[in-house]
Structure 1
Amino acid sequence: MKIEQNKVNEYTRELSIDISWDELESEFDSAIKKFSKKIKMPGFRSGRIPKDRLLKQFQSNIETEFMENNFQKFYLMAIQQEKMVPVNQAEISDVHFHMNEHFSFKAKFEVEPKATLPKLKKKSLKVQRSIYIHDENDIEDAITQLRKAHATIATVDDGAVEGDYLICTLQKLDESGVPIIGKKYEKQYLRVGNGSFTDDQKDKLIGLKPDDVTRLTLPVKQDGDKADYELTVTNIEREILPEVDEDFLKLVNPSLNTVDDLTADVEKKIQSNFLDRSKTAFERDLSDALIDLANPSFAPSMVENYLTNMVEDVKKQNEGEPLDESKVREHYKPVAERNLKWYSLRKLLIESEELSASKDDVEVEINKLVERSPQSEKEIRKFYKKPSNRQRVEDDFVEKKILDYLEQFAKVKEVEIHTKDLRKQDHEH
């Protein structure tokens, strides 16, 4: 078998494959015998038809079937011989084959392009590190969230206030205000204000009591359509937050003795969360800086394969709900391209710097997880007995080594971010 390789571009290769008749003759004879068993010809038993009679009538059929049955075999032999790994299905062209002649064809396919690492110097990767400055509001909000986590729900009849939930019946009305038959919705929950879709009609809900009736205009579709409803209150539920006292401390963390201890513990966790947030953003910035500097290419089919997997993941999350696949692909395409670029550079860094994770390294990382949640040790160790989960720990450990290596080439600009500004942005959105 003769093979000629043509580099079309960075990620496309074309193989010209030629197999001589000497290599094919015995296989073609076997194909003739196999074909004869499928043919019924008057005067001859199945499989006993003379070769010349069979070829006279069916030679072109046998040749076509032989080609179809052997493309894949010779193609696989060729890519193995050339030590190539296609990332998509090959396009076959320029096919030639007749009995007593050679069998030739071309196969065009994509491969993972070879990336190269830029020569890294000090300060060649420009990155930003965010320093988060928290304030008393963050601590108060966190304690409020703890109180909400231990809140009780009470049914009240003294009139709804902002934040209450109305359990009600909604009756849709036509344009003249007459109830529409079949459009009555019982046991509906509406929140009074606090960002609910009835926020613009909050005043109509405040003060309502059981059995009260009011009229609301509510959205019925995402495109802005609205309809009138008659609302009849069944019950009003109110979230009752616990007082921050000794009983509350025991609920939250029995090791805390005073409210000051709680405040200090909450602040410590806030600082830790913002440090993690800063670290995650910094590491992302660091890898993006290398991607921008190296700008590796990728095969289009690799992006398509990535997006196909993303679509399948989203389908599973949607649990059978209708899905616009084209929109999912469009949304995730920049993510796919970015991740494929990082994947190629990551692989090069692992090879060039000989980065790896030993069994001991993986065990140390698992032990760290156990130390953080000692009450879940049994579940954690069971989870990481599964090879795929241990592989994830190994990959994360190697990723950390890669980022530690890249950090020595970083020019870091530290930027202070006040959490009050973040809250302001959230409020505006």
Structure 2
Amino acid sequence: MSSADTIETTPNPEAAAPESTEHSHAHDHDHEPHHHGPSLNPECTREVQIEVAADEVSKAFRTVTRRYQKQARIPGFRAGKVPESLIRSRFADGLRQDVVETVLPTHFREAIDKAGLRPISQPQVTDLHLEDGQPLKFKAVFEILPEISVDGYQDVHVAKPDTELTDTELNAELDRVRDSRSTMEPVAEDRTLVDGDWAQITFRGEIKNESNEAETTEAAAQQPITGDDVMIEVGGQNTLPAFNEALRGSKPGQELKFEVSYPEDFGERRLAGKTISYDVEVKAIKKKIQPELTDEFAKELGEYEGIEDFKQKLKDHLASDKKRRLEGETRDKIVEALIAKYQFPVPESLVQQQVDARLDRGLRALAQQGMRTEDMRKLDFNRLRDAQHDSALNEVKGSLLLDRIADAEKIEVTDAEVDRELELLSLQMREPIETLRTRLTDDGGLARIREQIRREKTGGLLYQKLAS
């Protein structure tokens, strides 16, 4: 993750962000207190006490009650003719909730404006007292952005990376391209397998009995490990030593028996820590033939004029990718150094929003890998949230610092820059750009895009100033 792309749920000091587990800016314009919420950082927490006059409360009760009378459908009464007393008894909880939602927002906004406070979390209502004919009293608790000084940030320095592409890197990529288009050709001569050959084999493996009864039962229940016409490089660095030793010097038609003890951390779980007895038949010896770097080969790869054109475009792509990657890593190091340099309290609501965003990305990745929804529900989300907390905290701290430095450097984002990002998103999502713009404006996404672009520009400026 680059330094300019560190937090999805960005603080908006102009508004109270609603309690939400995702895209918390969807109602940034609301300032409406909620009755419950996440734990808050005491150093960033503020409280306002509010009292609403009894006559305004009574007026709200009458207005809400009349609305309920018009909508209520109760057997024995005509529509709109249900007695007010019955409405108040039957729908007491709903009436109270609607009165609170009618009265609270305006008075809360007035209270924070008067106090000069700018909430960035959804306010939590406590000590609510509501009775018809009496003043409405409540407290609202919320978080604000901390005071952050970035004085001296110019003193932070990190090593500037060498982003030049080397000939070794270019040649290695050319070899990978050739290897991807290589063919396997049979070896006609009568000889044994040597390093560099590819053995075409058929094999069957069985897990040896373990002394532990539970492991024996588990092993017996597993299907044999088999493979037909599998290609294995003799002496290859990715080939297990036991296979190299057994195959080296053997000939087609030969049958081999040997055992392989797999380490506990072996990548394939059913083999990890097991000893497998293999029966292997060598079917053929083959050589991998890589294509020559000719103009014809280049044209097979794409719309290239010839091999030199392909090499140049590959070099440009690799150089650009290396430069972007190393500069991104350096910007991350700069942000890490800034986080270490400045200590300040961080609103817990922003941290929890970032935990939500990280978990959301993780769950989407699991879903793409084929994990079923019912299996996801079995995950220990409390443990997962705890595990994400420290990383989320640093991401929020990094974003807040970038925002303050952007203020100090007077970095602005133009409408043209936002439009370019929208055009890319429109192509990626296959959604008409104006439809996308409207949707992102309504759910706060456009503001997040603008903030992300601003941070990216700030990260680029810091790279120019602080990397040396």
> TM (normalized to structure 2)?
0.62
Q: Secondary structure at the match of 1:127?
A: coil
Where does residue 280 of structure 1 map in the other structure? 328
Where does residue 108 of structure 1 map in the other structure? 141
Q: Once the 2 structures are TM-superposed, how far is the Cα of residue 129 of structure 1 from its aligned partner?
A: 1.0
Q: Secondary structure at the match of 2:360?
A: helix
* Range that drifts further, 179-188 or 345-354: 179-188
* 1:77 to 2:106 alignment: yes
Aligned-partner Cα distance in 2 for 1:238–1:393 = 53
Where does residue 183 of structure 1 map in the other structure? 223
Match of 1:12 among 38, 41, 45: 45
Aligned-partner Cα distance in 1 for 2:431–2:452 = 16
Q: Secondary structure at the match of 2:334?
A: helix
Q: Once the 2 structures are TM-superposed, how far is the Cα of residue 308 of structure 1 from its aligned partner?
A: 1.6
Q: Once the 2 structures are TM-superposed, how far is the Cα of residue 78 of structure 1 from its aligned partner?
A: 3.8
Match of 2:349 among 301, 315, 320: 301
Q: Secondary structure at the match of 1:18?
A: strand
Q: Which amino acid aligns with 1:289?
A: A
Cα distance change on mapping 1:363 and 1:205 into 2, 3 Å:
farther
Q: Secondary structure at the match of 2:346?
A: coil
* 1:130 to 2:161 alignment: yes
Contact 1:173 1:230 in 2 (8 A): no
Where does residue 12 of structure 2 map in the other structure? none
* 1:340 to 2:396 alignment: yes
Aligned-partner Cα distance in 1 for 2:42–2:49 = 16
* Range that drifts further, 17-26 or 162-171: 162-171
Where does residue 254 of structure 1 map in the other structure? 305
Where does residue 358 of structure 2 map in the other structure? 310
Cα distance change on mapping 1:107 and 1:216 into 2, 3 Å:
farther
Aligned-partner Cα distance in 1 for 2:453–2:125 = 43
Q: Deviations over 1:25-45 (max 9, x none)?
A: 13334566648968889xx99
Matches for 1:54-69 after TM superposition, within 5 Å:
64-69=93-98
Q: Which amino acid aligns with 2:49?
A: S
Cα distance change on mapping 1:31 and 1:38 into 2, 3 Å:
farther
Where does residue 202 of structure 1 map in the other structure? 244
Aligned-partner Cα distance in 2 for 1:151–1:14 = 70
Q: Once the 2 structures are TM-superposed, how far is the Cα of residue 226 of structure 1 from its aligned partner?
A: 0.7
Contact 2:41 2:346 in 1 (8 A): no
Aligned-partner Cα distance in 2 for 1:313–1:304 = 14
Cα distance change on mapping 1:110 and 1:72 into 2, 3 Å:
farther
Q: Which amino acid aligns with 1:241?
A: Q
Q: Which amino acid aligns with 1:118?
A: V
Match of 1:98 among 127, 131, 135: 131
Aligned-partner Cα distance in 2 for 1:301–1:223 = 45
Q: Once the 2 structures are TM-superposed, how far is the Cα of residue 316 of structure 1 from its aligned partner?
A: 1.7
Contact 2:296 2:306 in 1 (8 A): no
Q: Which amino acid aligns with 2:305?
A: P
Question: Could you say which structure has the larger radius of gyration?
Answer: 1
Where does residue 21 of structure 1 map in the other structure? 54
Q: Which has the higher contact order (CA 8 A, sep 6+)?
A: 2
> TM (normalized to structure 1)?
0.67
Q: Deviations over 1:97-153 (max 9, x none)?
A: 334322222232334x144342347x5122221236876643442331121132224
Q: Which amino acid aligns with 1:127?
A: V
Contact 2:158 2:334 in 1 (8 A): yes
* Range that drifts further, 179-188 or 88-97: 179-188
Aligned-partner Cα distance in 2 for 1:304–1:163 = 55
Aligned-partner Cα distance in 2 for 1:8–1:180 = 55
* Range that drifts further, 323-332 or 289-298: 323-332
Contact 1:307 1:329 in 2 (8 A): yes
Where does residue 259 of structure 2 map in the other structure? 216
Where does residue 118 of structure 1 map in the other structure? 150
